[in-house]
Amino acid sequence: MTEAAAGQAVQTPVVTPLIEIEDLVFRRGERLIFDGLSMTVPTGSITALMGPSGCGKTTLLRIIGGQLKPDSGSVRVRGRDVTRLKRAELLELRKDIGMLFQSSALFTDLSVFENVAFPLREHTDLPEDAIRDLVLIKLNSVGLRGARDLMPSQLSGGMARRVALARAIALDPCLLMYDEPFTGQDPISMGVVVSLIRRLNSALGATSLLVSHDIHETAGISDEIFILDAGKVVAGGEPSALANHESDRVRQFITGSPDGPVPFHYPADELAYDLLGGFRR
């Protein structure tokens, strides 16, 4: 090794955040959902949002997509603050965001082909032959090219989820957001969706942000997991590190234990008090 080579410092590639959230505050009426939440999502990563039911995971996806406006704080996607964009600017940004809804949200009166073609017709001026080719390519990527003429009512739950995924990637977005992608899936369908998320993220060079309660599947594909609770990010890191987290609350969530800081019972008086007529008048 030459002296010049020996003296060179090894530089670690800098990963630019695709999403940067700072001091986010959001309320629904009197209820405080986010209380100064901050987090960054690196470009090209698969990042998961997890936490107890009702902690605001789906709400956060809607804020990132500009569907909801926070009370304060900033939400930057590709360096642009979503909270400050005008309507036309926001619609332009959304072309770079693909969303897989928990319910799939397919148009029931449109065929599988037309569902996937919809965003291409809505947001591009491509000729019909180009749209046809793109739709078939997207359907082929989720294994459903042969189902292009079916109606949503003829699909199983797993197939509907895959059609919705094909529609979400129709415009080759830089950001894919998944709201409970594994819910209601049988083991085979779940395995297919897990594989698709991983493959599509790599093939599209996209960044994926997913909300899920399924610890095993999520940990298997995520580069990083953020745990949300009490309006903030209470933990974040690689899945393997969170199982040994210093917080009892985080460990309880990751392991799924019924006993811990999060109680099984909703607050109430002693059972014996109720049974002995404590509330009788």
Poorest-pLDDT segment among 77-91, 191-205, 253-267: 253-267
Name the maximum alpha-carbon separation found in the chain: 91
Is 113 part of a structural domain of the chain? yes
pTM of the model: 0.81
Is pLDDT of 38 > 70? yes
Is pLDDT of 214 > 90? no
Instruction: Please report which confidence band the pLDDT of residue 229 belongs to, taking 50, 70 and 90 as the band edges.
Output: confident
Is pLDDT of 59 > 90? yes
Tens digit of pLDDT for each residue in 104-139? 889 999 999 999 999 999 999 999 999 999 999 999
The residue that leads in pLDDT, 245 or 20, is 20
Is 209 part of a structural domain of the chain? yes
Q: What is the reported pLDDT for 256? A: 67
Q: Nearest 5 degrees, angle CA 108-CA 114-CA 119?
A: 100
Q: What is the reported pLDDT for 2? A: 53
Is pLDDT of 10 > 70? no
57, with CB counted inside 10 A (0-12, 13-18, 19+), is buried
Instruction: Show the 3-state SS of the chain.
Output: CCHHHHHCCCCCCCCCEEEEEEEEEEEECCEEEEEEEEEEEECCCEEEEECCCCCCHHHHHHHHCCCCCCCEEEEEECCEEHHHCCHHHHHHHHCCEEEECCCCCCCCCCCHHHHHHHHHHHHCCCCHHHHHHHHHHHHHHCCCHHHCCCCHHHCCHHHHHHHHHHHHCCCCCCEEEEECCCCCCCHHHHHHHHHHHHHHHHHHCCEEEEECCCHHHHHHHCCEEEEEECCEEEEEECHHHHCCCCCHHHHHHHHCCCCCCCCCCCCCCCHHHHHCCCCCC
Distance of alpha carbon 120 from alpha carbon 132, whole angstroms: 10
Is 4 part of a structural domain of the chain? no
Q: What are phi and psi of 106, to 5 degrees?
A: -75, 150
In the numeric block, the tokens 């594994």 are attached to: 182
Chain-wide mean pLDDT for the chain?
86
Is 76 part of a structural domain of the chain? no
213-240 average pLDDT score:
88
- The domain of 232 spans 43-65+92-275
Is 86 part of a structural domain of the chain? no
Q: What is the reported pLDDT for 16? A: 78
Is 130 part of a structural domain of the chain? yes
Is 61 part of a structural domain of the chain? yes
For residue 125, what is the domain's CATH number?
3.40.50.300
- Segment of 219-228, 245-254, 255-264 carrying the highest mean pLDDT: 219-228
28-52 average pLDDT score:
92
Is pLDDT of 221 > 80? yes
Q: How many domains does the chain have?
A: 1
Is 14 part of a structural domain of the chain? no
Distance of alpha carbon 103 from alpha carbon 175, whole angstroms: 19
Is pLDDT of 81 > 60? yes
Poorest-pLDDT segment among 108-112, 176-180, 273-277: 273-277
Residue type, 220: G
